[in-house]
Chain A
Amino acid sequence: MTQKRLRTGIDFTWRDMEVGNVITEAGNAALRETGDWRTQRPIVDKEKCNKCGLCWLYCPDAAIRPLEDGYYEPDLFYCKGCSICAKVCPKEAINMIEEEEK
């Protein structure tokens, strides 16, 4: 992600709205933080992970990124906390924890 991520609600006033709310820039949904309504977040246990990539395949929001070392990491800017990754993990290497837990 090379573009700067924005929190739309904070950065836009009514004056910034394009006529008819048209979005003139292609692909800018990537700038939108969709992870802000999450109540639970996934925690990956690398000890258990076998790098099978099922979490990455199943994530409905493409919010899991492959890392260079072969492991996978949820991107919390987009992750809505649906827990599908945790459900499909054959090694039970992903646990969902409450957002409030640090």
Chain B
Amino acid sequence: MSERIGLEASHAAAEAVKMADVDVIAAYPITPQTHIPERLAEMVADGELNAAYVPVESEHSAMSTCVGAAAVGARTFTATAGPGLEYMHNVLYIASAMRLPVVMTVANRALSAPLSIWGDHSDAMSVRDTGWIQVFCQNSQEAFDMTLWAFRVGEDPGVLLPVMVHFDGFHLTHVTEPVILPGQEEVDKFLPKFRYPFALDPDKPMTLGAFAPPDIYSEAKVAQEVAIRKSKAVVIQGFREFGEIFGRYYYPVEPYKTEGAKTLLLTMGSFSETAKTVIDTKKDRGESVGLINLRLWRPFPFEELRQAVKGAETLIIFDRCISFGGPGGPVSSEIRSALYGEKEGPEVLSFIGGLGGRDMSAKDFEYVIDRGCEIAQKGSAELFETVGIRGEVTGIRG
């Protein structure tokens, strides 16, 4: 029996973890992720969830504990944010290379300095290449759905990879929204028991995490790269199965009113919901605009993206992160690269805003689209443009 209740994304994710019946949770509290481990600790203490809750002393230890727990075949969860994600950075590579399907929610937060506890995507972009499957959520419902889905996909015998579920710090983690919680029987139908084929077992000794000299390391990395690329089929299958059971269908790339649109805006996470209201307004005014919500970040959905932008003249990417001294927002450079060499592909424009929790309201999204259309006509002297920065920003050229 499903029920519709008010939950912030943090508590929605915690509910998903509980319904997934995890075995081990190892987490260190950090704003704005705190409500997730806090709620889970409460569930374990109250006997609602039968799991080992390991109150570690740091994020590096949190991820290391998860690696160890997953290696004995435990369903494993952790959550972090911003600097915490950075602090566990090297262990992220270990989890993915050892093919341990840890699930982690990241309450996206800016990186210091200046110290900021508020949201942007600097943390997510810094772990782009860690070999984790990564998705972004637009709202609390998706925080629940994607967390549950993450276990299904990561633990699939054909995948065995860790999965990161990103949702915006404060804008989602601390905002109460209506969330439909499914019944346990539906969850059990969707999520089979976890069976790790290489679980540590004293009766069957194996070596996990061995050393690799130069004559084998490259082969190991290629095998890992092939595995994450292959995982896309299961990512999509997981979305489909989720839709069939719960009635909410997700896709790697989600176009919104893009049909026949000349100008497309591409956003990730909670930006997408605000952007949709702006697209609605502009559509009503007869403007030829549409939105693309990029859900799947890794493995990158090349084919789906190419399909989604077909026929568009201008593609505006709105990043929440700066690649210092680089080619623009990290998402924009990724998409430029994905579309490079496409015949009749759209012109890709890069905008950056919403850093360190700066609110981007409907009028900011309107500005981005209008300015994007203007650049498409007249060009811009800059490699990328910023949104809502006080003082003129010029000279952003190579």
**Smallest Cβ distance from A45 to chain B, in angstroms?**
33
A1 near B: Cβ within 8 Å?
Answer: no
State whether B97 touches A21 (Cβ < 8 A). yes
State whether B216 touches A8 (Cβ < 8 A). yes
What are the residues of chain A within 8 A of B213 when measuring CB–CB?
A: 9
**Smallest Cβ distance from B199 to chain A, in angstroms?**
10
Contacting residues of chain B (160-219) with chain A, CB-CB under 8 angstroms:
160, 197-198, 205-210, 212-213, 215-216, 218-219
**Smallest Cβ distance from B297 to chain A, in angstroms?**
22
**Smallest Cβ distance from A89 to chain B, in angstroms?**
30
A24 near B: Cβ within 8 Å?
Answer: yes
Q: Which of B208, B215, B227 touches A9 (beta carbons < 8 Å)?
A: B215
Q: Which of B198, B218, B222, B226 touches A20 (beta carbons < 8 Å)?
A: B198
Q: For the complex, give the distance between the alpha carbons of A8 and B219 in Å.
A: 11
What are the residues of chain B within 8 A of A9 when measuring CB–CB?
A: 213, 215-216
Q: A9-B215, A22-B198, A23-B210 are in contact. Are A17 and B220 (CB under 8 A)?
A: yes
What are the residues of chain A within 8 A of B205 when measuring CB–CB?
A: 26
Q: Mark A19-35, 1 if CB is under 8 A from B, else 0.
A: 11111101000000000
Residue in chain B with minimal CB distance to A15: B223
Q: For the complex, give the distance between the alpha carbons of A14 and B208 in Å.
A: 17
What are the residues of chain A within 8 A of B206 when measuring CB–CB?
A: 22-24, 26
Q: How many residues of B contact A (CB 8 A)?
A: 24
State whether B160 touches A20 (Cβ < 8 A). yes
**Smallest Cβ distance from B201 to chain A, in angstroms?**
11
What are the residues of chain B within 8 A of A8 when measuring CB–CB?
A: 215-216
What are the residues of chain A within 8 A of B100 when measuring CB–CB?
A: 20
A13 near B: Cβ within 8 Å?
Answer: yes
Q: For the complex, give the distance between the alpha carbons of A20 and B222 in Å.
A: 12
B99 near A: Cβ within 8 Å?
Answer: yes
Residue in chain B with minimal CB distance to A26: B205
Residue in chain B with minimal CB distance to A37: B213
Q: For the complex, give the distance between the alpha carbons of A26 and B227 in Å.
A: 25
Q: How many residues of A contact B (CB 8 A)?
A: 16
Residue in chain A with minimal CB distance to B71: A20
State whether A12 touches B216 (Cβ < 8 A). yes
B98 near A: Cβ within 8 Å?
Answer: yes
Q: For the complex, give the distance between the alpha carbons of A8 and B216 in Å.
A: 8
Residue in chain B with minimal CB distance to A10: B215
State whether B97 touches A20 (Cβ < 8 A). yes
Contacting residues of chain A (34-92) with chain B, CB-CB under 8 angstroms:
none
Q: For the complex, give the distance between the alpha carbons of A21 and B226 in Å.
A: 14
Q: For the complex, give the distance between the alpha carbons of A69 and B194 in Å.
A: 57
Q: A19-B99, A19-B198 are in contact. Are A13 and B219 (CB under 8 A)?
A: yes
Interface-centre pick from A9, A15, A18, A19 (highest chain B CB count, 10 A): A19
**Smallest Cβ distance from A30 to chain B, in angstroms?**
13
Residue in chain B with minimal CB distance to A21: B220
State whether B219 touches A19 (Cβ < 8 A). no
State whether B219 touches A14 (Cβ < 8 A). yes
What are the residues of chain A within 8 A of B216 when measuring CB–CB?
A: 8-9, 12, 17
Q: For the complex, give the distance between the alpha carbons of A27 and B334 in Å.
A: 44
What are the residues of chain A within 8 A of B97 when measuring CB–CB?
A: 20-21
* A residues in contact (CB < 8 Å) with B: 8-9, 12-24, 26
Given contacts A16-B219, A21-B98, A23-B208, 19 further A-B contacts (CB under 8 A): A8-B215, A8-B216, A13-B219, A14-B219, A14-B226, A19-B197, A20-B100, A20-B208, A21-B209, A21-B212, A21-B220, A21-B223, A22-B207, A22-B208, A23-B206, A23-B207, A24-B198, A24-B206, A26-B205
* B residues in contact (CB < 8 Å) with A: 97-100, 160, 197-198, 205-210, 212-213, 215-216, 218-220, 222-223, 226-227
- 5 nearest A-B pairs in the assembled complex, by CB-CB distance: A9-B215, A20-B99, A23-B207, A14-B219, A14-B222
- Can you give 27 A-B contacts (C-beta < 8 A)? A8-B215, A9-B213, A9-B216, A12-B216, A13-B219, A14-B222, A14-B223, A14-B226, A15-B223, A16-B219, A17-B216, A19-B99, A19-B160, A19-B227, A20-B98, A20-B99, A20-B198, A20-B208, A21-B212, A21-B220, A21-B223, A22-B198, A22-B206, A23-B207, A23-B208, A23-B210, A24-B198
